Amino acid sequence: MTQPLNRLQMAWRCAHDIPEGSVVNLGVGIPLAVLDQTPDDREIIFHSENGILGMKALDPGDPEDPELVNAGKRPVKMNPGGAFFHHADSFLMVRGGHLDYTVLGAYEVAENGDLANWRLPNSKTAPAVGGAMDLAYGAKQVYVICDHNSKDGSPKIVKKTELPLTGRECVSRVFTDIAVIDRTPDGMVVREMIDGMTFDELQDRTGATLRLANDWKPLEAPDLDS
């Protein structure tokens, strides 16, 4: 069986599905790696909730500017055509439905598209939500990148979420280390899974009921060091 995708490969696979011309926001964590994995010849406008459109990943050796950072507070640079604006305008873009895509991480995704990604149970640390709830309802398409299973093996794609919700019925597609799954009106549909995995094996590792698309394909990604 093919190796599960590493984090950069998951980001690469997600980037692959974002068409030219899209306006895209990337959540903190793995989703931000989509910025580096976007094909150079594809014009995508990346939005950062701290007031940027048109940001771009730094190339090796680029200077770091503490006044030009993304939502993860990491340095970025700008594409020609980019713009700066303040937080109220930035979230007007998010909440008004102006973003084509957002890519978020997840603790749990339910088969109805419910998303939980901000709070673990019994956490003693202070809660922290950032812009996740704004993005969950704001973007036209909510893509999720997450491992298919937690470290203890429990599935992240579940029948019903148990963790505190980020948003209801908002997820449209999930990119995991072993599959690409669409949330459709008819339930969760597997578009891709890694070579050598059977549908039954995938279903076993998943809480939600899956259906295999007739035109499903093997999930592939180039070698990328994570």
Closer to other proteins by Cβ: residue 78 or 213: 78
Segment interacting with other proteins, rule: CB under 8 A, options 132-140, 142-150, 180-188, 217-225 = 132-140
Retrieve residue 97's tokens: 């439905």
* CB closer to other proteins, 116 vs 210: 116
Q: Which of 125, 185, 222, 223 binds other proteins (CB under 8 A)?
A: 125
Active site residue 169: no
Residue closer to other proteins (CB basis): 125 or 214: 125
**What x/- string results for residues 32 through 61 when contact with other proteins is judged by CB under 8 A?**
-----------x-x-xxxxxxxx-------
Tell me the C-alpha distance between 210 and 88, whole Å.
Answer: 40
Q: Rounded to the nearest whole angstrom, what is the least distance from the CB of residue 71 to other proteins in the complex?
A: 8
Beta carbon of residue 142, minimum distance to other proteins (angstroms, whole number): 13
Within positions 157 to 196, which residues make up the interface with other proteins, using CB under 8 A? 164-168
Question: Which one of the listed residues 20, 43, 49, 162 is annotated catalytic?
Answer: 49
First to last CA, the chain: 20
How far is 34 from 70, CA to CA, in rounded Å? 13
**Neighbour count for residue 206 (Cβ, 10 Å):** 23
Q: What is the spatial distance between Cα 38 and Cα 16, in angstroms, rounded to a whole number? A: 7
62 part of the interface to other proteins, by CB under 8 A = no
Distinct helix (H) and strand (E) counts, the chain = 5, 13
Tell me how far apart the alpha carbons of residues 30 and 8 are, in angstroms, rounded to a whole number: 8
Q: Give the residue with the Cβ less far from other proteins, 161 or 176.
A: 161
Burial call 79-117: b when 16+ CB within 10 Å, e when fewer: eeeeeeeeeeebbebbbeeebbbbbbbbbbbbbbbbbbb
139 binds other proteins (CB under 8 A): no
Given candidates 1, 3, 64, 87, which one binds other proteins under the rule CB under 8 A?
87
> Are 206 and 155 spatial neighbours (Cβ–Cβ below 8 Å)?
yes
Check: CB of residue 131 under 8 Å from CB of residue 187. Answer: no
Is residue 95 involved in binding other proteins (CB under 8 A)?
Answer: yes
Question: In the complex with other proteins, which residue's Cβ is closer, 1 or 120?
Answer: 120
- Which residues in this chain contact other proteins in the complex, by CB under 8 A? 20-21, 23, 43, 45, 47-54, 65-69, 73, 78, 80-99, 119, 124-134, 137-138, 164-168
Q: Residues with catalytic annotation?
A: 49
